[in-house]
Amino acid sequence: MAQGSQTLRISIFRLFLLLMALSSPSEGGWRWGILGLGKIADDFATALTRTSVASAGGRLLACACRDEARSRAFGTRFGLEQSRCYGSYDTLAQDPDVDIVYIASTHFLHRDHVLLCLQAGKHVVCEKAIALNARQAEDMYACAKREGKLLLEANWTRFLPAIRRVRDLIRTGELGEVRLVTADFGKVMNRQDARRWLWEAEHGGGALLHMGMYPVTLALLASQDQHEPAVQAIGQLSEGETGVDQNVAVGLRWPGGVASLGYSWVADTPEECVIVCSKGRVRIHPPAHCSDTLTIKRFGATDGTRHAEGSEEVEHFPLPAVLAREDGEKLFHFGNSEGLAYEVEAVHKALSDGLTE
């Protein structure tokens, strides 16, 4: 799947022509269903329907949650036919007109929902964390392979233009070898106000799957995903029966490099990432997990003990424009969610290219 987005050089127009030539999706492009209708589903639907980047290759057709009234209200917000607003996940999975299902239910339901949709012949994009453990993930990917369908973890960070630029800087060797990565992600979560399962280990609770996966994603990306790094973690668990991780320092090591990461839901951290390489370093500005700005510093020559001053450049990667937004209208629950459009675009591209892994 990573390959699909790396070569996203095709113009929207050519993509459109390609899509027209394919028989699988309807004329309007790939037809999406959304399963689970919380805040992130709302942001995803907005990115899909109200940005040109995402909507060029597809459209939203159906939605489902366990409460049919809520499903209908969601459908109304996004202009869906009421007959496509389901009160059951199974009905959505069985809708013959849906090509792809975006799964936005909670972590501990992902396995069942992913298998349900894959077995019904749908491509699947599943919110992170896609699984509670490696075993679940392996089951899900084996199923996708059997069914010949795309299965993608919705780790949107990887599809953002700023992050793709970072990956290019590293892959081309322009900044030399990656030596040391620092990254943090922390937001205070109030136990009284947040959903209970977040504090339940057996339900995939804890800050790692919720927040820690972002700095870990950036570190893995810096290591070019080539290695399975050695891992160490140290930190505090929440109080309670099944204490879950809530304030953690993580160290990763791969051949030639290390990452020093911090994640937390008891601390509001700056959300930065710095990737230090042998010839320069790149700072991913806050919020690093959905950044639109980089500072790239290229080192000068070294005098043996330290590098001379080099050049420093700031690069901006504006998020996609939102169509028909009214002045002051707040469309998204989470910051920079416009960037979800790049994830959708990558999925359209991958499907058009016939990629399923």
Judged by the rule CB under 8 A, the positions of this chain that interact with its own copies are: 179-180, 182, 184, 186-190, 192-194, 230-236, 247-253, 256-262, 264, 266-270, 274, 276-278, 281, 283, 299, 302, 304-307
Least Å distance between CB 150 and its own copies? Answer: 32
Query: Is the Cβ of residue 59 or residue 281 nearer to its own copies in the bound state?
Result: 281
Residue 134 C-beta: closest distance to its own copies, Å: 21
Q: To the nearest whole angstrom, how small is the minimum distance from the Cβ of residue 8 to its own copies?
A: 30
CB 353 within 8 A of CB 11: no
Query: In terms of C-beta density within 10 A (0-12 exposed, 13-18 middle, 19 or more buried), how is residue 174 classed?
Result: middle
Smallest gap from residue 294 Cβ to its own copies (A): 14
* Residue 248 or 341 with smaller CB distance to its own copies: 248
Number of C-beta neighbours around residue 266 at 10 A = 13
Please say which residue, 234 or 324, places its beta carbon nearer to its own copies: 234
Which is closer to its own copies, CB of 143 or CB of 252?
Answer: 252
Nearer Cβ to its own copies (280/320):
280
Contacts of 13 (CB under 8 A, 6+ apart): none
Nearer to its own copies, 29 or 262 (CB): 262
Contact (Cβ atoms closer than 8 angstroms) between residue 269 and residue 223:
no
What's the min distance (Å) between Cβ of 258 and its own copies?
Answer: 4
Compute the least distance from the CB of residue 11 to its own copies, in Å: 37
Helix or strand run (H / E) with residue 185: strand 178-186
Look up tokens 């089951």; give the residue: 139
Minimum distance between the CB of residue 144 and its own copies, rounded to whole angstroms? 33
Report H helices in the chain. 2-6, 12-21, 39-50, 52-55, 68-77, 89-94, 110-119, 134-147, 161-171, 207, 213-222, 340-352
The DSSP result for 268-336, as a single string, is -----EEEEESSEEEEEPSSGGG--EEEEEE---B-SSSBPP-EEEEEE-PPPPBTTPPTT----SSTT
Closest approach, Cβ 153 to its own copies, in A, equals 23
Please identify, using beta-carbon distances, which residue of 121 and 235 lies nearer to its own copies: 235
Strand-pair partners of 213:
none
- Closer residue to its own copies (CB): 308 or 324: 308
In the complex, least distance from residue 247 CB atom to its own copies, rounded to whole angstroms: 6
The sign one gets for the Cα dihedral 89, 91, 92, 96 is positive
Question: Sign (positive/negative) of CA torsion 342, 348, 350, 355?
Answer: positive
Of the two residues 143 and 259, which places its CB atom closer to its own copies in the complex? 259
User: Cα-atom radius of gyration of the chain, to the nearest Å?
Assistant: 21
Pick the closest to residue 67 from 90, 43, 46, 37 (CA basis). 37
In contact, 334 and 41? CB cutoff 8 Å: no
Helix axes 110-119, 134-147, angle to 10 degrees: 10
Nearer to its own copies, 306 or 330 (CB): 306
* Smallest distance from its own copies to CB 342, Å: 24
